[in-house]
Amino acid sequence: MSIRDSHGLTLSGADATSLEHYGRALHQFQCYIEDPVASVDAALARSPDFVMAHVLKAYLNLLGTEPQAIAVARESLAAAARCDGTAHERGHLEAVGHLVQGRWHQAGRVLEDVAVDHPRDIVALQSGHLVDFYTGNSRMLRDRIARALSAWSPDMPGYHAMLGMHAFGLEEAGDYARAESQGRKGVELEPRNGWAQHAVAHVLEMQSRQRDGIAWMRANPDAWSKDSFFQVHLWWHLALYHLELGEIDEVLALFDGPIHGARSPLALDMIDASALLWRLHLRGIGVGGRWQTVADGWMPFASAGNYVFNDVHAVMAFVGAGRQKAVDAVLAAQQAAMAGADDNAAFTREVGHPVTLALLAFGRGDYPETVSRLRAVREIAHRFGGSHAQRDVLDLTLIEAALRSGQAALATALCAERLENRPESPLSRQFVLRTQALRMAA
């Protein structure tokens, strides 16, 4: 049995009822809301041989980088492989197989080919877009979606998601005006589209438009936060605006409330918790026992070694909480990862492990070593994933270490660079004042 979806794609093993559940799961995935896994499970309960439902379940488990979810994805892949599928669907099985084995780049290339042949395949486009994010491929974040846009129109289901993804790709490529326009259009079409909301938030962060950012996020928070599995990251963006403005009470209130109040055990949420506390730590702001609760959440990940971007943020928490044994577990896992054959071996070797060592050096007050290790990787840091806004913590750490180590010339150069790139940033101006004081004291 097969049926065609609203974009004309053949879905093997589906019927009208299971297609309805599957369509709901797709909408939830596109907006980052509710429980798409439950919806896809409902589709499979109705149609156990629904190939793309198995595929979507695999992607949903793989694209959160949760180590325990890989086994679930492997089961979904095996179930899909037992079903009769089209050549198009077999392309998805190949991509899932690469992801299960940690071959992110190969998965991204397969999904590229699938979308070239089927530009209305929103599953291939969104999954590929997230692969581009996890591999730091800013060009493909933009161009994977740009290639397919002409095959879409505003009246098609999921068009808002295309706009949101294109907006984020444009932002990561530095095309801020177009990114903001596309993101706002996406939100206008679907106010619950968390990815489009987030793309505009990134633009406003990169342009240091803090007041605009606060207004954007505060305008309709129910739309992007209600029953959303992306809400922590969006609240984190709001906190960054307040942090840049020096509104620390607001930052801590957001941390204690929607960012970490529920103690989410998900890696993506704990990344935001660690990153926010580390930024406060760099400013010399005490955070009380907050490091301990974040470190508690990271403990099950200490030996995972499946995605080094997670490792780096776990180590921030372990350094902040003074948990050397947990740090040692991460370092051992990284050694094992670097001996592997998957893409995380390169992510770890080229960027993640040196960054981890830089954070450890900063934690023990060895600021010259921090500077040395971060300078060695800052131009290639995109290779271990994340966004420009997320990786900015590395530049902030480098600048702070240069200032604290008394490297006046380097600190002056780095702060001048930041002021040039972010001339409206209050923090940029504070850094310049600190370099002036450093030179006067020399």
Q: What is the pLDDT of residue 303?
A: 98
Question: Which residues, including other chains, have CB under 8 Å from residue 322's CB and lie 6 or more apart?
Answer: none
Q: What is the mean pLDDT of the chain?
A: 97
Rounded Cα distance between 431 and 414, Å, is 9
Rounded Cα distance between 70 and 96, Å, is 10
- pLDDT tops 80 at residue 1: no
**pLDDT tens digits for range 231-248:** 999 999 999 999 999 999
- pLDDT tops 90 at residue 157: yes
Mean pLDDT, residues 336-365 = 98
CA-to-CA dists, residue 10 to 5, 107, 310, angstroms: 7, 22, 37
Q: Six-digit token pair at 340? A: 């592997």
**pLDDT tens digits for range 186-199:** 999 999 999 999 99
Per-residue confidence at 284, pLDDT binned at 50, 70, 90?
A: very high
For the segment(s) 1-151, the CATH number from 1.10.10, 1.25.40, 1.10.8, 2.60.40 is: 1.25.40
Mean pLDDT, residues 69-85 = 97
> In 176-323, which residue ranges form alpha helices assigned H by DSSP?
176-189, 194-206, 210-219, 221-225, 231-244, 248-254, 267-282, 290-298, 308-321
User: For residue 303, which of 322, 268, 274, 327 has the smallest C-alpha distance?
Assistant: 327
Residue ranges per domain, the chain?
1-151
Share of the chain above pLDDT 90, in %: 98
What 3-state DSSP class applies to 3? strand
User: For residue 385, which of 425, 351, 409 has the smallest C-alpha distance?
Assistant: 351
- pLDDT tops 90 at residue 49: yes
**pLDDT tens digits for range 329-350:** 999 999 999 999 999 999 999 9
Per-residue confidence at 441, pLDDT binned at 50, 70, 90?
A: confident
DSSP structure string for 364-391: TT-HHHHHHHHHTTGGGGGGG---HHHH
Q: 0.85 cut: is pTM over it? A: yes
User: For residue 333, which of 378, 298, 381, 288 has the smallest C-alpha distance?
Assistant: 298
Mean pLDDT, residues 363-381 = 98
Per-residue confidence at 2, pLDDT binned at 50, 70, 90?
A: confident
4 in Cβ contact with 86 (< 8 Å): no
Residues paired with 12 in a beta bridge: 2
